Structure formats: C-alpha cells, structure tokens
Chain A
C-alpha cells in the first residue's frame, strides 16, 4: 500500500467499511436477480455519491473534492473487493474527459451533475470487441454524430456519453438518435451496443491531440484499481479457505505445494499493487502517465488473470458453484481484462512508447 495522507486513509477506511458492511457480494446477487438492465442499485449509488465518491477527481468549484486519482483508486479498489456494481469507474473517467477537454460552459453544465449523481456519464470508444482506439469510424457532421459503439460499459444507466469520433471527443446526451442493444456479458453488468444515428453532439475542444489517450489512461488506472480489489479479495478468500479445508486429516494450508503457489500469487499481487498505485500516482503527478497507466493495466491483467484462475482451482469443486463467490470474480475479471487494453494490446503500446 502506498504511503497515504490522513485524508486518503479516511477515504479508504470509509469505503472499505461501507463495502464490507453495506455492499457485500450478496448485494450484487440481488442486483443480478432483479434482472435490471442497468445492473446497479440506484439507492446504493446515491449513498456513494452522498459520501462524495463521484466527485473525487472533480475540482471543488464544480462540486467535487479534487482529492485526486490515487484517492479515487482507493475507493474503487474497496468496491472492487465486493464486486459492488456501480457506474463509478466510467462516470469518473468520463468526467475526466470534460475536465481535460471541456469548455468552461461544458464543465459548468456537466461536472456538478456528475459529482452530485444527478447525471451519470460513460465512455463510448471502441467499435469492435477488442480495445482499439486507433480504429474509429464514428463521424460528426453539422453537429450530428453517427456511429456504432460496441460493448459500452454502463450504457443503460448513463445519461451522457463521451463518444470518440474520428476528429475528437464529443458529448452526446441519451435522447433521440441514441439506440441501445443490450449485450449481456459474463459479468452480468451493464453493457450495450450503442448506435448513434445523427445524435446531437457537442465537441470537447480542449485537451489537445492526446485527449482521447489521456482519458483512456485514466480509465485504465481506475479499471486496474477495481481489478486490484478483486485480486486481493480472491486471494484473501482463497487463503482463508486453504486454512479451513481439511483433507487427508490435514489442513490444506500445510501442504507445501499449495504454500508455494500462494507465495507466488502473493508476490504477483504485490507487483500488481505497486503497478496500480504507481499508475494512479503518475496521473496525479502529471508525469509519465501513459507509460505508467500501460504498466498498471498490463500488470492488473496478468495478475488478476492468474489469481482468478487459481482461486477456482484452489477452492476445488466448491469454487465451481454459483453459490460460492469466487466464480463471480472470474467472470468480471475477463471482462475488465479485455476493456481499455488487452494484455497484447498493452504490450504493443508499451513497446511503441519505448521506441521499439
């Protein structure tokens, strides 16, 4: 864990205790059972907003607390531990697009709403099943945006889309000309193909050429923070299980083969935490964020992939049951691994950033 200041520790402790007490995995089971397409609990989101979590990276003048990205990551990590379903990650990433690229008017219009929960925003970037921001066909003419976005996260609950078009990022409100086709994925959260058909679009003119890349880096570090919480939770649950389960008259935790596997996973988890925190801190520091975010997401992908698989294997048969929680993490893990950069894509980007 990075060395935190008092404010950050308070925020993290508050998020941890809320997630554990008010939003354990049973809450997500309820959301799943409800069959709601937006796939999160509005009342729970209202509480999260009330605690200030939707405004952590939003400047104070627009109703946020401006605590920064490491702080936002700490909250997201805690929520990731219990797989709390909410549009917080996407709303935060979308808000950053407005902060970085919006006019004063756009900021004044949207940021207070996003901080207060009055509106929810998300990102609509990719047009295929794999992350590839270089391949965008969506275009705008005469203020009307047309294009098809695949697998938009939190699309059902969103009021506002930050849409990547060929010539930059646009704000598009959910209204006429925005059509959703639900795409249910293994995590059973909100994903949809979003068809923009001549939808009214408002360009984010600031932020320079790197705006899309900068916003995606922010989405990457936050997603990585959620994945960190998930990996930690699977690791902890698995360790507890190994300490309880008895076979051959022996607690499983005493078998050296399992001890060494857990030691490997612990080392991986340590690496992941360092990379994720360094990514968040790099965004806060404004230095080397592209590289650090790439490392953070790549390490998150690698380690969560391994831990989510091992989590099932080490639980044995019970890990295969829906009644047991560990499978929920596996199903969410792969969705997040593929989002905002698969491992291969991230390695390619790392090499490109390094000049080879």
Chain B
C-alpha cells in the first residue's frame, strides 16, 4: 500500500547518490536482484555462491553494509543522510545489503559503545565484512521474561573464566562463530552479579542443539556450556556491568524487531490487492464480501498509522534533545499488527492459505504460512508484549508501586 514513507522527494542529482548508483552498476549482479540477505534469514546461510560472495566483498570493501560505523573499524563512515541514500538506491535496484545478522543489528552498536579499543579492533571489522556470525546468549530455561534470573556461571580462574550452564533460544546458534552472552559472575546480587562476555562457539564444551518450532523451522537452539574457557580479554566492560550493557543491547533488538524487522512488511503488498486475486470482485474491482473488505480496511488503516508512528519516532529522535517515548510502543504495536496481517491473509485465502508443502501452493503462499506461525514468536521474544506493557506502565507512565 502506498505510504507517506515512500513519498519523501529527494534530489536526484546528489553527487553521492551518483556514486552509489555507479557502485551498484559496477558491482551488483542482475541475477541476485530481489534476493534476500542470507545472514538475516531465519533459516541461516545456505552455501554462498560465487556471485553472492563477490557482492558481499564489494560492499564490505567500502563499508556500506554498516554505513554509519566508523571507517577505522571497517564501517562506511557515512552520515545518516548518506546512509539513507545508500538504502534507497540499493532498494531501487533490487539489491540487498549482504552484511547483516546480529553482529550488525545488536552486538556491533553495543561493542562500539562499551568495548575496549582492543575489542573493537578485534571484532568490528569482521562484522563489517560479514565474515563472522554472532549469536545471542541471553535466555535460559529459567530466565525468559525474568532474564536477570539467569544462572549460567562464569568462575574466575585467574587468566580466564570457566563457564557452566545452559542458554536457550539461541537464534542461529548452529551457524554462529561467536556468541555475546550475559553470565553470572556473582551469585549474591541478581542484577549486579551479571557480566557481558564473548564466547567462541567452537570452543571445547560448547554444544548446540537446534529446536524445531511450530513453523517447522529451527532458527533457535539450545546451547549447553560445560567447562568452557573464556579468556579475560573477552569480558566487555567490567564485571557486574553485564546487565546494563545487556539491556542497552536489547534496545537495539527492539528497534530492529519493530522498525527494521518490519521493513519488509512496510513494503508488502496491500491486503486489498491480494484479496482481489483470491476473492470475488464486482466489475469496478470492489470486493463483494463487505465484511472481509471492512476487516481489511480496518487493518490497513491501523497499519498506516503504525507506519506514521515509526516515521515520527525517527523524526523525533533526530530532533535536538529528542528521546522519543514512542519507541516503547513500537515493538508492541508492530508485532501485533504483523500477526494480524498473517491471520487476515489466511482468511483471505481460505485453506489455500494454509499450505504446508507441495506444488499446489505458490512459493509466496507457503512462505506466508511459515511466517504466520513463526510470527507468533515476535510477541514473545525481545521482551514479550507483557514485559513491554510493564515497561510502558512503569517507566513511561510512572505507574510505580510507591506512587
């Protein structure tokens, strides 16, 4: 559906824009047009083709995969305005950003903020080049919404830590090279006993088991840690700062789930247009099922105002002194609407919209079924909707216990 987000006019004669276009013309192979970023996919990487590799390396070379990160660590060093031009031009030519994953979305920004110079030099360039895949070691079997209840323990052994415990819902754990994790270094204090550490997924004692989800896919894993040695240089910040650093990282996660994560949806086809293909229409193109038509419009109106809200959050955060209260509702609203959209798609398509496999279903139909199922996780991970509600009520609305 056309939105205000797409209507922003821009000067086409900007020299930087020309540079981006020339880069695309020289480096982006036609065959990859419309393909997604393998690193960002839920199914994880398949074997990278030569073409995909060449494209990734070309983008890595100029740092445009992480456009605003500093050049000394391999980023693009671009301004936000220039980064926007890169995104726009990539989108226009159907090119995907080959650099992605949790390293880009969550860990990188956090390490740039809290890491030592040595740590940044060691880890950031590999993220910018898309060479190292990161996963997140946060949740545990008894630490989901109550994340600070985590029990995985890192024992101080002088020059290293010895880690024992279990992490779960490790997204992409089976493909990851490294893991940023929060672990317990002190059992006496729930929050101040937590530290932020970097674990090598190939280290002895790390065992990963994929979990099959209702969608039939296995994007998450259980990760067992048995006497895993972690050198002390892999502690980010100081001991006991892990909760603060870890929470900061979650803000990046939320932004991505609600904003970036939904970017594909923002550009998604209007449900009305899809319905016109599956349902009866009158001569003027109007859906004859008035109830369904009303439901679709109802959804699309709310979806539009979500897009307006996302835009407003960006504008407000850019304005002087602008910390926007809106970001607290984006995750909650965006994930709920995305789930509603999936449900409506099924209603529109009927049983044709519930295909599990086989030639009788189009690729898009099959994909939407998996998206529908996997989408149920969106209101659970990254701080469930209930946790978001607690945050809004307590931090934004000041509904405190001692009011």
Contacts and interface: CB of A to CB of B under 8 A. Distances in A.
Contacts of B1: 354
Given A270-B309, A271-B305, A282-B4, A242 B399 contact: yes
Given A253-B400, A348-B294, A355 B316 contact: no
Interface string B274-309: 011000010001110000011011101110111011
Interface string A1-22: 1110000000000000000000
Interface centre among B304, B305, B312, B325 (most CB of A within 10 A): B305
Nearest to B9: A287
A99 interface: no
B386 interface: yes
A109 interface: no
Interface string A341-356: 0001011101110111
Interface stretch (A205-213, A260-268, A319-327): A260-268
A81 to B, nearest CB: 18
Contact of B305 (A262, A282, A295): A295
Interface residues of chain B: helix, strand, loop or mixed (majority): helix
Nearest to B287: A356
A355 B294 contact: no
Nearest to A272: B305
Contacts of A259: 389-390, 393-394, 397, 399
A36 interface: no
Interface stretch (B93-101, B131-139, B143-151, B326-334): B326-334
A260 B301 CA distance: 24
A356 B293 contact: yes
A34 interface: no
B4 A292 contact: yes
Contacts of B298: 347
Contact of B397 (A266, A355, A356): A266
B212 interface: no
Nearest to B295: A347
B174 to A, nearest CB: 35
Contact of A3 (B281, B301, B315, B401): B315
Contact of B392 (A263, A292, A294, A344): A263
B399 A254 contact: yes
Contact of B315 (A2, A258, A266, A273): A2
A254 B294 contact: no
Interface in A238-262: 239, 242-243, 251, 253-254, 256, 258-260, 262
A288 interface: yes
> Most chain-B CB neighbours within 10 Å: which of A243, A263, A274?
A263
B287 A351 contact: yes
B388 interface: yes
B2 interface: yes
Given A262-B399, A299-B301, A348-B297, A267 B315 contact: no
B262 to A, nearest CB: 15
A219 interface: no
A90 B275 CA distance: 38
B273 interface: yes
A254 B276 contact: no
Contact of B304 (A1, A253, A258, A275): A275
Contacts of A251: 403
A83 B72 CA distance: 57
A277 interface: yes
A347 B292 CA distance: 11
Interface string A213-249: 0000000000000000000000000010011000000
Contacts of B305: 271-272, 274-275, 278, 295, 299
Contacts of B304: 275, 291, 295
**Best-buried of B7, B297, B388 by chain A (most CB within 10 Å):** B297
A288 B393 contact: no
B272 A354 contact: yes
A253 B322 CA distance: 28
Contacts of A302: 302
A348 B286 CA distance: 10
B331 to A, nearest CB: 10
Given A259-B394, A354-B297, 11 more contacts: A3-B316, A251-B403, A253-B403, A263-B392, A267-B329, A287-B7, A291-B304, A295-B308, A302-B302, A348-B294, A351-B294
21 contacts: A2-B312, A3-B322, A243-B403, A253-B403, A254-B399, A254-B403, A258-B399, A266-B396, A267-B332, A267-B333, A274-B305, A274-B309, A274-B312, A275-B305, A287-B7, A288-B4, A291-B304, A299-B305, A355-B272, A356-B272, A356-B275
Interface of B: 1-2, 4, 7, 270, 272-273, 275-276, 281, 285-287, 293-294, 296-298, 300-302, 304-306, 308-309, 311-312, 315-316, 318-319, 322, 325-326, 329, 332-333, 386, 388-390, 392-394, 396-401, 403
Across the A-B interface, give the 10 residue pairs with the lowest CB-CB distance, nearest first: A356-B272, A259-B393, A275-B305, A274-B308, A263-B389, A347-B297, A274-B309, A253-B399, A263-B392, A267-B329
